[in-house]
Amino acid sequence: MKRLRTYLLLGVAISLLTSSALMGRAGGPTARRPKVLIFVYDAGETLGLLPATPILEAEKIDVRWAPLTPWVRRVLQQEQRSYAEPPKDLDNMPHVKDREAEGDVGFWLGLVAEEKPDLVIVGLVSCAQERLARELKARGIRTVGFYDAFDPTTRDSIVWRVASQVDTVWVPTKTIGRNLNDLGLRKVKVMGQPSLETWYRLGATVKSASLYARLQVPPGNRILLFAGQYGEGYAEVLDAFLRAALAELNRREDLYLVLSYHPKTTGEREREAIRKHPHPRLRLMPQGTTTAELATVSSAVITWRSTVGIQAAFLGKPVIYFNLNLHDYTIDLIEQGIAAASTPETFGAALHQALTRQSDPAANRRRLAELGYVIDADRKIASEIIRLTKGG
């Protein structure tokens, strides 16, 4: 009996060891989870990919963010997303001061070696990302480029240079896909821009009364939102816009104007503009709020050339693109009558038309889909990442 008991115990032990090994090979507790590593330089590409993260995590795919700039690190902190801690001297690195500077990417190549990702995603907006993509290509690491913008590019742009180094480029619309094809890039997939869905869904969750109170806008009044940007020419446009907009505020006592600022900045340009053009119904975006939240309670959204215009249109809001000259900027939303174009001289008429137009998110969404904008892009991108990281 003693010998039989020994054999039985030995058999149970072998059985447990065997089943444990099988569980590991079949994706059990000891199986390695697929991993995606994302190198981001700008807020746009970061906010574009963030909505896919919860879907991937639910599918047990590890998402590792690698911020290449201080402002992207701030975005990830605000969104409460874990990330690979960048070098301590990040603020002073050449590529942070100038996106055209390659700088030293050795730290991030070391991160790739350490993390051993199944897939790397890079944005297409800096020379640092170009160099990373080139090095990863040489090492045979599968790399996808993510293009978050809706404006066509050219062969002499950073976008094209990064895109030419990756295995596949994900683009937001068919228009951008054709643009890259015309520039000689063949491995292009139309995947959409998930931030559009974020804005669309946000409309049902924001508490208007609370936001009105934070803005110190009395209930029953209407809010105009100007989405700030940065870069050459922006200060001149902002100054011209405020002159035109404050004239409209003086004509209508029910209008309030809120300036939001780009996530890359701290809003100093907008603060300076408010000091130069003070008005009792002019506000700066309160700290802790986002342009998307403000757009949900706005009667119209005005921008220079920002992606915010398309995001706000997805939300069903009237959109005005403000430029110094009527033909300085064009986009399919303007061509199709979904958004308006205005100058300092025509802003009053454009605003009147926007404020008398009925907001219809569902109708805007359908029209944008007809133009080639992808619906549920977060799920589409997540599905593609799942396929690529799980042996597709």
168-171 and 188-190 beta bridge pairing: parallel
**pLDDT, tens digit, 9 for 90 and up, residues 294-350:** 999 999 999 999 989 999 998 889 999 999 998 888 888 999 899 999 999 999 999
User: What is the per-residue pLDDT across 195-212, written as a single tens digit (0 to 9) for each?
Assistant: 888 888 887 788 899 999
The torsion defined by the Cα of 149, 374, 191 and 377, in degrees rounded to 10, comes to: 100
- Kindly compute the dihedral angle of the four CA atoms of residues 267, 241, 47, 77, in this order, to the nearest 10 degrees: 10
Domains located in the chain, CATH noted: 35-193+374-389 (3.40.50.2000), 198-370 (3.40.50.2000)
pLDDT of residue 3: 38
* SS3 state at 339: coil
CA gap 382, 19 in Å, rounded: 32
Cβ atoms of 320 and 354 closer than 8 Å: yes
Mean model confidence pLDDT for the chain: 89
pLDDT digits 0-9 by tens, 344-369:
999 999 999 999 987 777 888 888 88
Helices H, strands E: what count in the chain? 19, 12
pLDDT at 31: 72
Backbone torsions φ then ψ of 62, nearest 5 degrees: -75, 130
Which one-letter amino acid corresponds to residue 21? A
Mean pLDDT of 212-240: 95
Q: How confident is the model at residue 165 (pLDDT cuts 50, 70, 90)?
A: very high
To which H or E segment does residue 297 belong?
none
The amino acid present at 55, given as its one-letter code, is I
Reading the block at residue 122, the tokens are: 């890079």
At residue 365, the pLDDT reads 83
Mean pLDDT of 80-96: 94
Cβ(133)–Cβ(166) below 8 Å:
yes
Pairwise CA distance, residues 115 & 84, whole Å: 10
